[in-house]
Amino acid sequence: MPTTLEAVRPITLAEVREARARIAAIIVRTPLVRLELGPDHPDIRLKLENLQPINAYKLRGAANAVALLPEAERRRGVWTISAGNAGQGVAYAARQAGVPCTVVAIETAPASKIERMRALGAKLVPVPFEVAWKALEERAFPGVEGTFVHPFDDHNFIAGHATMGLEILEDAPDTAGVIASIGGGGLITGVGSAMKALKPGIKVWGAEPETAAPAARSFAMGGPQVFKEWQASFVDGAGGQSVFPRMWQRMRPVVDGCIVVSLEETKRAMRLMAEKARIVSEGAGALPLAAALTGKAGPGPIVAIVSGGNIDLKKFAELIG
C-alpha cells in the first residue's frame, strides 16, 4: 500500500456543492418518492438512484473522482475494483474522459453487471471476492496498470456521493432520518456528511445483510471489526468482510448506527417496491427499505436510498416470486 495516502478529513459543504456543479452534466437528479404503506408503517420515501445512467449511485462518486484526477494521471488510464456498480461508474466516467479503464471484477457479480461494464469499454479481470477485498486493502493488483480509483476510500469519490444529500434535503426538508446500505462505507459517509452539515439533528443509519455485517459489529464494539462469518448472497453490492480502519474514521462522526436485516426481509422489500412503486431494485438497494420497515429508525419521515437496480431479471423474478 502506498505510504502517502491523504489523511482522512471531513467532507465540507463547499466541496459537495462544487462536486454537484462538476458532475451535473453526467448524473441524473433522481426523484424522491413516497412509498404509500398506510398508517401502521413508518413514513418512508425512496431516493431512486437506480435511475442513474448506470442504474446505480456509484456514477456520482466516479464522475467526481475521475474529473479531479490530474491530467497526467488520467492519461495513463484508470482502474478500480468492483462487484459491478463502482466498475460501471468508473468505466462510464473514463469513457466520457476518453481514457481506458480496467476493472478487477468480483467473479460472482451478476451477469448484468459484468455485461454492462464490458459494454462501457472496461477491460475485466475476474477474481474471487477474497482476492478483490485484499486488493482493496493493498490498492494494488499484479499486472494492472494505470491510476487506481478506490471505489470507496477516496475523498473525491465520497464527495460525489454526498451530492445526493443536498438533493434529499431540498426535496424533503422534513426528513428525520436517512438509511443507506453499507458496503465499503463511501455512500453513507458522503450522504451523512452533507445532511448532518445542513441538519445536525438528522439520524443517519446504515443497513447490512445478516450474512455480511461488519459495520453493525463495529458500531456495537466501538471500533472497526472483521466479519469472519461472511457469506456470499444475492446482496452482492453491500456487506463486506471487514470495516477498513480509514473508513471507520470517516463514518464514525456522521453515522448513528447500523441496522441488520435478514435475507428474507430484503426479498420482501424488493417485492414491496415492485408491487407498490414498480421499482426494480437489486439486493443492496432494498436493504434500506427493509431496515426502515423494522421500525428501528423511527416513524420518519425516513429516506431509504435505493442505491441500485442492477440485477439479472431472471434472478429478480426468482427472489420476489
CATH class of 59-148: alpha beta
Which CATH fold topology does 13-56+155-320 show?
A: Rossmann fold (3.40.50)
The whole-angstrom separation of Cα 133 and Cα 139 is: 10
Per-residue pLDDT tens, the chain, 321 aa: give them.
Answer: 445 788 999 999 999 999 999 999 999 999 999 998 888 899 999 999 999 999 999 999 999 999 999 988 888 899 999 888 889 999 999 998 898 999 999 888 888 888 889 999 999 999 998 898 888 888 989 989 899 999 889 999 999 999 999 999 999 999 999 999 999 999 999 999 999 999 999 999 999 999 999 999 999 999 999 999 999 899 988 888 899 999 999 999 999 999 999 999 999 999 999 999 999 999 999 999 999 999 999 998 999 999 999 888 999 999 998
In this structure, the strands spanning 101-106 and 203-209 are unpaired
Place of cell 474529473: 67
203 backbone dihedrals φ, ψ, rounded to 5°: -100, 135
Three-state secondary structure readout of the chain: CCCCCCCCCCCCHHHHHHHHHHHCCCCCCCCEEEECCCCCCCCEEEEEHHHCCCCECHHHHHHHHHHCCCHHHHHCCEEEEECCHHHHHHHHHHHHHCCCEEEEEECCCCHHHHHHHHHCCCEEEEECHHHHHHHHHHCCCCCCCCEECCCCCCHHHHHHHHHHHHHHHHHCCCCCEEEEECCCCHHHHHHHHHHHHHCCCCEEEEEEECCCCHHHHHHHHCCCCECCCCCCCCCCCCCCCECCHHHHHHHCCCCCEEEEECHHHHHHHHHHHHHHHCCCCCHHHHHHHHHHHCCCCCCCCEEEEECECCCCHHHHHHHHC
CA-nearest of 32, 15, 33, 23 to 61 is 23
d(CA 43, CA 203): 14
239: left (phi over 0), alpha (psi -120 to 50) or beta: left
pLDDT value for 112: 83
Strand-pair category, 44-48 with 32-35: antiparallel
- Nearest Cα neighbor of 307 from 106, 111, 89 is 89
Phi, psi of 243 (to 5 degrees): -105, 120
- CATH 3.40.50.1100 residue ranges of the chain are 13-56+155-320, 59-148
C-alpha cell at 235: 446482496
Residue 262 has what pLDDT?
97
CA distance 310 to 285: 9
